[in-house]
Structure 1
Amino acid sequence: MGQARPTFERRQLGLTLRRLRDEAGKTQQAAADAVGKVRSRIIELEDGKATISQEDLAKLLDCYDVTGEERSTVLELGAQARHRQKRRVYVDHLPDAYQRFADLEASATEINWFETGIIPGLLQSPLYMKAILAECEGVWWEPSTQEGEDRLAFRIERQRRLLDPPDQRIVRIVVTEDALRANMGSTEAMREQLRHILALFKENRDLTVRVLPNDTYGNPVRGTGLWYFGFGDRATPVGYSPAVPGPAIYYDDEADTTAMSRAFYRVWELALSRVESRRFIERVEKELFE
């Protein structure tokens, strides 16, 4: 392993290896022993500050009992991490891209999130999640497969990781009014969803939700959405903009992340305050269900 600049590819590899080690119940010292290195090299690797040879990476995966498609994916991540690539965006074409997105998200100290027309994932109630997955089944994946159930379990676990962590993070989410009024699944699902958001206001002080009313002017992210992740002094920011299911596209070029940060904070300033947003959601609930 060699000391390296923490490129996005190396950060993704490091986060993946940290998760696999945790899932295997192995210590960093055990991982170091498996490749014949000192523990500090595993720390550097998991922090995205070191590269690793294909041979040593295979030894780590043996230590973590990683096999099959997942093993092939991590070996490909390792190959990408060993080469400095001149590019403006990073496109994750490999399987299970949603898991690496969650790893990146969980490592952030600051999450800024805007989506239009849909309740963002961290705020979704169980019935709302099921309604979304039901709309996708038979379109983005074959009906009656395990994928829908896996995605539901993944979403629930992702919420747990981010909303109940021992180390708190700053979470800012902007919800659009049309998402609050959408007919997602059933009346019961939408009622549960609105009440779920209101409950989150009370339970999570570090979670700040703001509502962007439909009649707001000046929204620079209209019709799309974006995430902006901050990592304090540990790493440079990363931006992400969603598209239809397919390759995950990330931005870590300073010009791009600066523009994405500016766009998010413009929407944040346009949205109602936390208190006004809570009252707005309460009014929507009464209008729709009383």
Structure 2
Amino acid sequence: MAAGRQTVERRQLGLMLRRLRDRAGKTQQQAARAIGRDTARISQVETAKGSFGADELTALLDFYGVDEAERQTVLELGVQTRKRQRGRTYTDQLPHSFERLADLQADAKSIGFYESSIVPGLAQSPDYVRAVIATGDGVWWESSQDEVANRVAFRTELQRRVLEASEPKDISFVIAEGALDEIIGGISVLRGQILHLLQLGERPNVAVQVLPKTVQDNPLAGGGLITLDFDDSAPRIAFVPVLYGPSTYHDQEADTEPMFRAYDRAQGLALDQAATRALLIEKLKDVQ
């Protein structure tokens, strides 16, 4: 299949195949030989500039030793990438959609996070991560300590992949002040989370800003937004987090332009980093 536009589904497929290849300890050259293609073709698909047919994908998955659950997801993603037309958005309805969002975050060059009622996942302290995920146990999935442990480990690993990337990413957090008043896991957890934000804001590539309750005309009021910029390597993506249900991505400029603009507006309305630091220190004094 000829090279085409780097849609969300193509990016998800390529990044997932690269992750599976790395996990299997295989090189692009080995993968190419396994399916009778050249290395350039493996690279093309992994960088979202093409796709594979079902037989080629099956052969690759066999070579990587992929289990049935992941296999079905990859094959269905392959179907999505081969569709000639789709709507303006892409809705990921496949299992474990958070894993593919994580791949996109790890691949982005700059990321913006806005949240109105919770601290964004990448900015969460270890205790806050455990507390947030524990609140979903028995609600969003059948109660399972193994599931909780797996989700905590996954989020911790994502933080490492993004925050400790070999090529530092530009990361921006805009957090509505109300999110810092939500008690999740207890007062001590909230106190630790505020301390964590102060430490996070000291990183040269990370900006932490708080949007005060007194600010008027916030274009993102009541919602959440993640913006993903890949520089010139791929189209920008905007993602609106949901509590439950399918994940919808926007990758058409007609949609991403206003969504990135809304994020920029919220960022401009928020306290600058110095004023944010002062506010966080004041909140530490109030959280006893």
Give the TM-score band, short-chain normalised. over 0.9
1:191-235: CA deviations, max 9, x gaps? 111111111122x21011101011110101100011111010100
Uncovered stretches (5+) of structure 2, i.e. residues with no partner: none
Query: What residue is the counterpart of 2:134 in the other structure?
Result: 134
Percent of matched pairs sharing the same residue: 44
Structure 2 Cα separation of the partners of residues 7 and 136 of structure 1: 31
Structure 1 Cα separation of the partners of residues 58 and 144 of structure 2: 35
Count of residues paired in the alignment: 288
1:70-102: CA deviations, max 9, x gaps? 101101111111112230110000011110000
Deviation of residue 280 (structure 1)?
A: 0.8
Query: What residue is the counterpart of 2:269 in the other structure?
Result: 270
Query: What residue is the counterpart of 1:35 in the other structure?
Result: 35
**TM-score after normalising by structure 2:** 0.97
Query: What residue is the counterpart of 1:217 in the other structure?
Result: 216
Query: What residue is the counterpart of 1:56 in the other structure?
Result: 56
Aligned residues of 1:4 and 1:51 also touching (Cα < 8 A):
no
SS state at 1:138 partner? coil
Letter in 2 for 1:114: Y
Query: What residue is the counterpart of 1:88 in the other structure?
Result: 88
Letter in 2 for 1:207: V
Structure 1 Cα separation of the partners of residues 200 and 89 of structure 2: 34
Name the Cα RMSD after superposition. 1.1
Query: What residue is the counterpart of 1:105 in the other structure?
Result: 105
Structure 1 Cα separation of the partners of residues 58 and 2 of structure 2: 16
Deviation of residue 124 (structure 1)?
A: 0.5
Aligned residues of 2:200 and 2:208 also touching (Cα < 8 A):
no
Structure 2 Cα separation of the partners of residues 128 and 280 of structure 1: 20
Structure 1 Cα separation of the partners of residues 281 and 141 of structure 2: 36
1:5-48: CA deviations, max 9, x gaps? 32222111111101111111111111111111111111111001
Aligned residues of 1:2 and 1:52 also touching (Cα < 8 A):
no
Query: What residue is the counterpart of 1:179 in the other structure?
Result: 179
Structure 1 Cα separation of the partners of residues 180 and 79 of structure 2: 44
Deviation of residue 2 (structure 1)?
A: 3.4
Deviation of residue 4 (structure 1)?
A: 2.6
SS state at 1:214 partner? coil
Aligned residues of 1:115 and 1:224 also touching (Cα < 8 A):
yes
Structure 2 Cα separation of the partners of residues 79 and 151 of structure 1: 28
Deviation of residue 145 (structure 1)?
A: 4.6
Query: What residue is the counterpart of 1:279 in the other structure?
Result: 278
Letter in 2 for 1:262: R
Is the counterpart of residue 70 in structure 1 residue 42 in structure 2?
no
Q: How does 1:136-155 map to 2 (within 5 A)?
A: 136-155=136-155
SS state at 2:201 partner? helix
SS state at 2:76 partner? helix
SS state at 1:146 partner? helix
